[in-house]
Amino acid sequence: MLEQPGVGAVVVTYHPRPAYLENLAKLRDQVDQLIVVDNGSDESELRTLRMVRQRLNFTLLENGRNFGIGAALNRGVREAQQYGCRWVALFDQDSAVTDGFMAAMIEDFRTYSRERPILQIVPRYRDPETGMERPVSRFRDGGVFLTITSGSLFSVEAFEKCGLFEEDLFIYCVDDDYSLRIRKRGYYIGVSRQAVLLHQSGEPTSRRILGKAVSTKNYRPEIRYYYARNKVWILRRHARDFPRLIVPTLREFVSIPVKIALMEKQRWKKIRFFGRGLRDGVAGRMGPLKESA
């Protein structure tokens, strides 16, 4: 356990593979409270989770069905608040902490806090297969602009000042929205100098097209829907305050379908879902996807 009391971690699970459960063991040793929120795994998977819970002594909250990442995170955060946690860290099920991760995150957070108001810090993200580190987007103050959920550490004050996560997004851009809400309130988002999280986004593949290396993440069709729809929502909600969002997002609305068409399987289904996401985003239709595109 950490010497600093009140450190909670929230992990959202969804049909977890057995290998992912080892990530819980690595994390459990570094926090005071581990809260696992399951978003609709089947009974066999839940039985395994319950057995692991007995071995590792963590809180398991079973949603019964997939309520989306925002709702699952909110349930976990509220539970951490009930435990009196001063710090809350959020994780995807497939992310693995390295030795000393949480202590390093808190140490770096406190270092930043001596110089500026800060509510969130993110680790260095390393791909477990390639060993390459993922760059972070930078704000004008040198801190982070847009974050990803997994590995983020918040002081509990963040949820008191900025509220909880936006559940209508369901999945994707929940982290973008929260980063921008923190930034709107004038708070800093730091990046740890020491802490490393092993994390891979999607199942990326690369190919050379016209002599240039091009990569794509091979997301499922429904993920392509949420990505497109929620990126439109982000522009509608935040572009006035952060106009730098506009050009890169519009560029993605063109480049992503092209990459799908050239490099991915189920290409036409994914493109249909992506197009529907754009239409629903413009129309303001939010929440879970209820029918096939």
How confident is the model at residue 1, as a pLDDT? 38
Q: Residue 87: what are its φ and ψ, rounded to 5°?
A: -130, 140
**Closest CA relative to residue 35, chosen from 71, 69, 67, 78:** 78
Please tell me whether residues 228 and 182 are part of one structural domain.
Answer: no
**Of 140, 172, 198, which residue sits at a domain end?**
198
Q: How many domains does the chain have?
A: 2
- The Cα 110–Cα 117 span in angstroms is 10
What CATH number is given to the structural domain containing 84? 3.90.550.10
How confident is the model at residue 3, as a pLDDT? 43
What average pLDDT values come out for the chain (293 residues) when binned by 10 residues? 70 93 95 96 95 96 96 98 96 96 97 97 93 91 96 97 97 96 98 94 60 70 96 98 97 94 91 97 93 56
- The Cα 191–Cα 138 span in angstroms is 10
**Of 198, 226, 249, which residue sits at a domain end?**
198
Give the domain extent around 254.
205-283
How confident is the model at residue 290, as a pLDDT? 78
Please tell me whether residues 24 and 92 are part of one structural domain.
Answer: yes
Domain membership flag for residue 293: no
Partners of 34 in the beta sheet?
9
Domain membership flag for residue 106: yes
How confident is the model at residue 80, as a pLDDT? 97
How confident is the model at residue 200, as a pLDDT? 75
Domain membership flag for residue 138: yes
Please tell me whether residues 161 and 253 are part of one structural domain.
Answer: no
Domain membership flag for residue 161: yes
**Strand 205-209, strand 212-216: pairing:** antiparallel
Concatenate the DSSP letters of all residues of the chain into one string: --SSS-EEEEEEESS--HHHHHHHHHHHTT-SEEEEEE-S--HHHHHHHHHHHHHHT-EEEE-SS---HHHHHHHHHHHHHHTT-SEEEEEETT-EEPTTHHHHHHHHHHHHHTTS-EEEEEEEEE-TTT-PEEP--B-TTSSBSS--STT-EEETHHHHHH-S--GGG-SSSHHHHHHHHHHHTT-EEEEEEEEEEE---S--EEEEETTEEEEE----HHHHHHHHHHHHHHHHHHTTT-GGGHHHHHHHHHHHHHHHHHH-SSHHHHHHHHHHHHHHHHHT--SS--S--
Please tell me whether residues 175 and 255 are part of one structural domain.
Answer: no
- Residue for token digits 């699952």? 72
